Each structure stands twice: as structure tokens, then as C-alpha cells.
Structure 1
């Protein structure tokens, strides 16, 4: 032994340099300054004293794997005496044979083919308790008869502390359920190929949110709210335990944050199993909770997803569950809803359209088509309704029902409405100039109520008419019945100003809302457009008998009353000549529908105006 310090050599001198190898070991060799250590019985008394007094449990093991000497610390750790350990198989003492990888590395060290080995083992003490140890094995120099030095450090306290810290990190302190971190660890592990290759290969998830919890939390305080969450967690755990009875595994219950919980079903047997679990959760939450002397009630909205694990990622599964939870809430709460790929595709398309709507207006992706409005008496073209289409680069030509609602929600209906108004008026003026010998066509443009509130519609119309040169009486603005009836203030003032300007105001889809004809006398309305549902009642069967004559009576009464109020009437959705004949007989003024023409391009309207028979040829389009 070299060195100048007095007293026994430290344990590090007996072991050698610090070990950095993993369980696989490494190819590093003992350095030139390593202290030689051999059989304690064959070493000087100073080494023997240091070996026996060392707090680190150690033993010298020969090339055959037998203990040739052990210190008292190892005896105490293993519940034996150093003498009793002599001759024992070292690998059995510290469980080096439990896995093939470690056992192979240990034999390589004994044979001198591997520098050293370090591993962690769980041992059972003779008195019954278990302990965690870190085992290190380093070779002894051949000059000292070879063999290896075995050292064993008790790390049980450290492991227990790490376990407690991990439990705190991965469990919710309020409910003691696994938290979001642990939930995603389990979910990610369940979606790895090795986890489902031998099972059903399916996975299920119930993602729930408590209905009414926020009100309780806000009014009674977070302390009561936390107790309620803990009580809910107990019921969810009970549901999971019952669902896991006699099955391979019990669903994992986790609190993801706030009042959101998840129940993960690994190795699911199908949709029915996960749906049954969701149903049991709803039933478990029906009974009131007794919290701090109060009886509190909450329900849950649950999104249910069940699918093949292959090809599914944690992100995709949670997105589907979150979407389905939203559906459950939107459908009325206190229910579970199953994920529907078709409904989700529609939602994704809707989101894609909403995100690109405003830029599409700027890029000029919208076009107009025009549907003829025909005089019932002579069948001649009187006007056209401008219908906007979105020529989407991905989804093709989209009709208004696909995007007008989105435009009204985000306010882009205002710039879109301005573009439609200007384009339609410019086109109507173009037809008038191109066919000066024909009565000019009026153009009808749909207006959303938000256009009245969020913009100066009167100024927009005035500016458009001035720029295009179109006469005001050749412009008709259509508003829905529900938007006009009962509205006062700014909308009514705007309609009056537009009417005073000479613009015609039409009520679209009349008969589906208030149907208050008396109220119409106080509004500046000049045209009623009967909803197509009334006209469909005019259908005739093969024998020429009307299936629902009551519809004709109602429509005739509305037309007569409208005429008494000075209004004209347009019938929508006219599809057969029989319908047209009956509408003509009861006095309807104009008609619109596929009998006359589908919506067509502006060029097609121009062709109709140039036809030999004039505008009467519209019915052949």
C-alpha cells in the first residue's frame, strides 16, 4: 500500500477507482494506480484490519465464484456471520442468476474478459424483510491469485425515498389518483406494440368532465370542491374495480386536472365494454354527495373512444376523446357519447373552412351563380337571385350551407356580403347594358342580420349602386323572416332607409318563423318568398289528386292577405308543372325552382337573354 496517511486504508482503496459501468459492464481495464487487493487472510494485517472494519459490505470471491472471505458488514447485511459465508456461492448470495444478462456479465468478470460489473438487486433478509442493494464486482490482480472483490451497499432507504417522491410526482394530492403525468406514461406504454401484441390489441378510454362542479367550487369554496372531487374519485375507483372483476386488468382511473377524469381500459374487448363502464359511471354519480353537512349533486359528460391500439398515438386518442366529450356536453350533458369518425371528419372540415374563410375572401375564391325568378303568368324571366359559392382549392365548389354559418360566427360575413352585393349589382348592370331592348332584370341578394348590426348596410348599398350605376329598384335584398320579425332599432331603421332609397325588401323562407302578416304592415317589406315546404305540399300523385289540399288552402290565404297588404309573392322550390299551374291559379306572382332552372353562371343567364324566344325560354335551361 502506498500513500502517507496513517490508519486503515479507506474502503475506496480496497475497491479501486469509481465504477461507472451499467449492467452490461464495459471493456475498461484496471488502471495502473489501482490498489491490489487479495484474500484478506493472505494480506498484511493492515489490509485485514481495514477489510474487517470497513462499513461497506465486502467479500473476496475466487475464479470459481466461491466466497473466500467476507467482512462483518456483509454478514450483518445478509443476516449471517463472515465465517458462515466462506465457501458460499457468491452469485446466490446477491441474486446474480435471476436474469441472463447479469449472469453472463458476472461470469465474464470472473473469467477476466470484462473489467467490472455493477447492478441493483432486491434481496430477502432471513428475518423476512426485503432490502435493495447495489452490487459492485471488480477483479483482483492476477499477482494476488486473481479472483474478484464483491461489494454490497444497502440502498433501501434511498429507494424508498425515491419511490415516495415518484408517488408524489405522479399522484394527485386531492384525490390520490394517478395524475396526468402517470396517466400518459401508462397510456404511452399501452400503445407500444409489445404491450398489445398478445392481447386483444384494442384500447378504450372514458374521458369525463363534471357537470355543475364549477358552480359548487365557486359558491362553496375550494375546500368543499376538493372534498367533492375526492368523493367522486372514490366512486370512479369503485366503478373501475367492478369493471375489472374477473378480467385480466382493472381500468386505470386518473385525475387529469380540474374536474376532468379519465378511465383507461387496456386490452379492451370492444366498444360495449367501454360503453358499459361509462354507463356505470353515470349511474354511480346519480346519488347526491354528503360533503361538509351539505348534499351536493353533480353529473358527468363522458367522451367514449374505443379502437385498435395499432396505429393510434396518445395524442390522437386524447384528441378524439376531447372531441367526443365536447359532443356529450353539446348534446345536453349527463350522458356519454361514442366517438364518430364521420362526425369528426365534418368537424375537422368545418375547422379547416373557418380558419381559411377570411383569407379566401381576399384571394377571390368566391363566385356567384344566379337562379332565375320567373313570372307565373307568362313564364318570362323577371330577375335572378345571386347565390354565392366557395371554389375551395381542397374541397371543391361549396354551397352556402357549408360556410355562411361560419362567416356569421366570425364576422367575415360583412366583407363577404359586400363582395356579393357589389358583384351582383355590377353583373345586373352589365346585363342591362348588353340588352337595352329587354326589360332590365332585378337582382336579389341575401343579407345576414349581422351585416345590419356590424356594418353600415345603408351606406354600403348606396355606394355600390353609385359605383355600378344600377337603379335602386333593380336591387332586392332578402332577409330571413326570423331576422326581420320583431326586430326594432337599428335593423328596422336600416330597412326603412333602404326602402326609402327605392331598394326592394324581401322576406325569405316565409312561413317557417313568426308568420305574423299583421306585423308586415309596419315594415318596409315589398316581397314575400314562400318557403319551399309549402310548395312541396302541392305534389300530385299519378292520378292527379293532391295529397295535401290543406297546404293549398293555407298558401292561397297567405297570398291573398299579402296582396291586400300591397306585397308580391314568390314561391320557392317549384319543381313540377302541376305545382306551377296551381300556384298560378291561386295568384302567386313569381316562381323559383328547378322547373325553370337550377342556379347557373352569369354567362348562361346572358344566353337566355339572347335566345330567339327571349326570356320565355328560361324553362328550357
Structure 2
């Protein structure tokens, strides 16, 4: 819409642009206009009228004198002035200047009209109550409506409800003081129903006769605001998962501890995924990232409104929980743990996640850093215990954490210094007790503490990742010793040597190649090596079984250890790629029903899978196991674990074996 020439904004703009310079000429212009002259029309009539005016003036002056002397002054004055203006040299210059001023006025009016109508900003004039009296043509582009569709409406009708009170306050503030202005941002409704961010400079010109309104210069800043919001969000959130990052989490912890209510407990829980590195190594970082996204979404799904979940980095997450009692935290973490254990589809492969949780409960004066530090100590205690458990921080826990760090450092040194040893527990045939094989069990010959069993250091190895190089050493040493026995004793040598492989090792991409190298380097036939994996490891998904398949392709036998203690079932045995199962010692027959041992023996026999019973401690147990169909057994009833030299002696004299029981 093109505003008229007397548009209040145009008048105001022109006035300010033309009254400051050329003051003298402006004064003459105003005087002439007050006298009733229209210079542009005088110029248009021309000189013939000037001559006629002179004749008429003389006649009127002569006749009127006899009628009414006062009429001379009334009639003659404008005629004389007109005659003077037209005929004098000075008057000619004035007429020219007046014409130039009028032309300049028209030029400026057209210029300002174009500027306002084509400005990127939208110019609005409203009354003090917000009623729109004028809006420039840019409103069609910015808001999707023509100026006519908005005039007469109240500007607050188009402001977002959450911003209306604030904008109304700005209007009231500006309206109280002439020439006052305020710059602010708010959301404005577009004709399509969307909300646009705008920046408004409101100026009070209510006192200006040519405007009489509040002038608002409005600019669309939606794209800038969205960019600003994205940058702000990225600065406080994890890019991969969309969760809060460490900085935002610390802010939320500070806020939660600062407003703690009586009877409420604020807890920080540190969550660390177990064996996440193996996912990256075996399936690639893209699969690892996909798993992290799944973990984040599953934890977020289990949390309550008001709880906070953050990703601190890598595979480490944190939870901020406010509960009425500690048991609420336990129940929530139980749900989170079970949900994480459900296999997730990652690139067409089912992958289950397991995590360890450390809990720290806030005390008065605690900072976010202090809470995270204590939760970290508790988390490592939980990780050392295994099985995806959680642990609460207690005062004595830091001492155990320091002990863990010390033992881990010593174990790392022991690997390099050659302080590890292998002892071998015989696996015998039933019922005669002949030595058929051995299981390699690691020991640590500590320089100060003496010979340490696996329970004293294996948890530290698993928690620190040292289990991988430690397991590699066990594999190679067992193959070396088995090859020595074969060369020294021939057919009397143990038929098999069994080594335990941890879950972390099983997920190492090069495990099968390491086994092949160990067999080749020491000259041990593949069928003489048995790799034992735990039942809990076996149910972790297809990745584990893919590694098992590659190991069996080498000719190596695979045994399912501790059977009956995990989540597998007898039905699962039909689909397992194993050559042997070892019944856990907890199911060794005791006086009373032995249903599980009986079922395992029957199913294994039907599937052609070899069975071994562990933890046999009495002759009665050995006899019962033989009656159930178990062909092999091991336990203190037959022999304790012993050094390789004692196995050599037992191979030469079976009585030595009986003496060690």
C-alpha cells in the first residue's frame, strides 16, 4: 500500500530533513504561504495576468474612492504586493527559490516513501495502547499479511502469549517519556501460524504532531536466533546423543543441591559401559556410536520427569536423581540395568550392553566435582565385582580405590617382570581317575606377598583392561608347556590343556589369530587346546559366537564353563557351537535330588557334547556323577592345582597324583 503524501511518517521525516538547512529561505517560504500565495500557480499563469491585474487595480482605485475609502486598502494591498512580487527583480528570485523548494519537497517525499516501503525492516506506528495505525509494506514479506490486514488491530494480539506481558511493559515504559526508546526481542505470529523471532526498536513520538504514535522498527531475526539457540544448545549438550554434557550436568547438580528439600536425597550416579572398547574394535566406531545412542535413549526412557541424564564422554554417563529414600535409586537402576541388557539391533546385529554404576549421595556443601569423584570411586568398586552391578560410596571406599590402583600398577609391572606362573589342575576320567587333561590356572609370585591366587588379582585385571595381555600370556605359556609334555611323554602326555578366555578377550578382533600364532609358534596340535568361555559370556550375542566359530575352525575345542549359573538353558545347547560343557561346582551331587546334573548329562549325551563335572570333593560325588553319565571330572578329591613339574612327576608315576588330593 502506497501512503498518501500527508503520511504522518513521511511528514515527520521530511520535516526533519528540510527545516534545519536553508533557514532563511524557509522563513520566506512560510511568509509567502501565509499571505495566500501559491508560487507554483503564479508562475503557471504568466505575465499576461500581471498586466491585466495592473489595469484592474487602477480602475478599482479610482471608483472605490468615492464609494468607501476603506475599500482601497482591502483591495489594493494584495494587488500591489502581487504586482511588486512579479515585476521586481528581487521578487523574481524569490519565486524561483520557492519553486525549487517545492520541487525538493516533492523529491524528498518520494524518496522517503520508497525507502520506507522497500526497507528490510517493517515500520509500524501504534497508539500508546498498542493499536496499529500504520504499517509499512514490508509486513507482507515478514508476516504474511498486508498492512491493511493489520491496521486497527492491537500489536499484542500477534505477540506470543509468553512474551505479551513483557512487551506490554515495554510499551508502558516508553509511553511515559517523550523520545524514550527501548530495544527488545519477542516472538510474533506469522500468517501461516508459525512463530517468528523479531527485534523491535520502539520510540515514543506521541508528542510529535506529525506522528502522534509509538514508532516500532521491526526486524526478523528468526534465523539468527535459531543459530544462537543451536550454538547455545551444542555448548551444553552432547552432539552424538543429545544428552546434557559435563558442564550442564554440573550446573544441574549445583542447582539440585542448592534447593534440596527436607526428607529428599540427591544422588549422582556414574554409569560406565563394560567392554565397550570391544564393540568399537570388532564392529567399528559407527556401530559403537549407534550403541551409545541406544544406551542414552534407553536410560532416558526409564528416568522420571525431573531426573537428569548426561554423557560425560566416551562410554561414561551420569544420572542426577532426587528421591525420598535410597531404595528408590536401587529400583530405578535395576530397571535401567535390565533395559540395557536387552539386545539392541546395531547394523543388523543384536548387541547387549552391560554397565557398572557408582552412587554418591549429596551432603551439605558438596560440589558437582566432589560428587562425581565419589561416584567414580564407587563405580570402579562395582566394576571390580563384575556382573553389571552398582555400589554406593562409603568412607572406606577410597582406601580400597587406592589399593586397587596400587595392585593394578603392580600387576602391570608383574607382567613385564615375568612374575606370573601357571598351575595346572588335572581333569581325570571316571571312574578310574586317569589323567586325561589339565586346566591352566594363573598365579602371581608376588615379591612381597608370596604366591597369590586368581581371586587376589583377576578382578583388578578385568577392571583395568589388563585381562587382555594377561590372558594372552596364559594362552602362550599353556601352549608352550603342553607342547613340552607332548615331546617329553608322548602318548602319556595330557590329551588337552584348557585355558580360560574372558569376555573382553572374546570380543578382541584378533583372538583367533593369536590362538593360531600360539599353536604354530610352539608346535602344539590344535585339537589338544581347549578354550573355556563362561556361560554369561556365551549369551552376549552374535559377536561372541562369531569369534567362537573362528576358533573352532582352527581345530581348537571350545568348552562352556560354569554351566547352569547364567541365563542359558538346556535348549540353548542345541544351538551352541561347543564341544564340551563343564557343570558348575554348585550342582555337584549332594545327598538329595540331583535333577539339574541329571538333565545336563542327558541332554549333552543326546547332542554328542562331552561333559565335565567341576568341584568334586568326595568319593560319593564322583560315584554319583559317573552313574549319571559324566565321563570326566576335576576337583580337590582328585588333585589340587599344581606346578608343571608336579604334572611331569604324575605322568611318570600316577601315585604322585593321588598324593596331591
**What TM-score range do you get, normalising by the shorter chain?**
0.3 to 0.5
Greater share of helix: 2
TM-score by length of 2: 0.43
When Rg is computed on C-alpha atoms for both structures, the one with the higher figure is 2
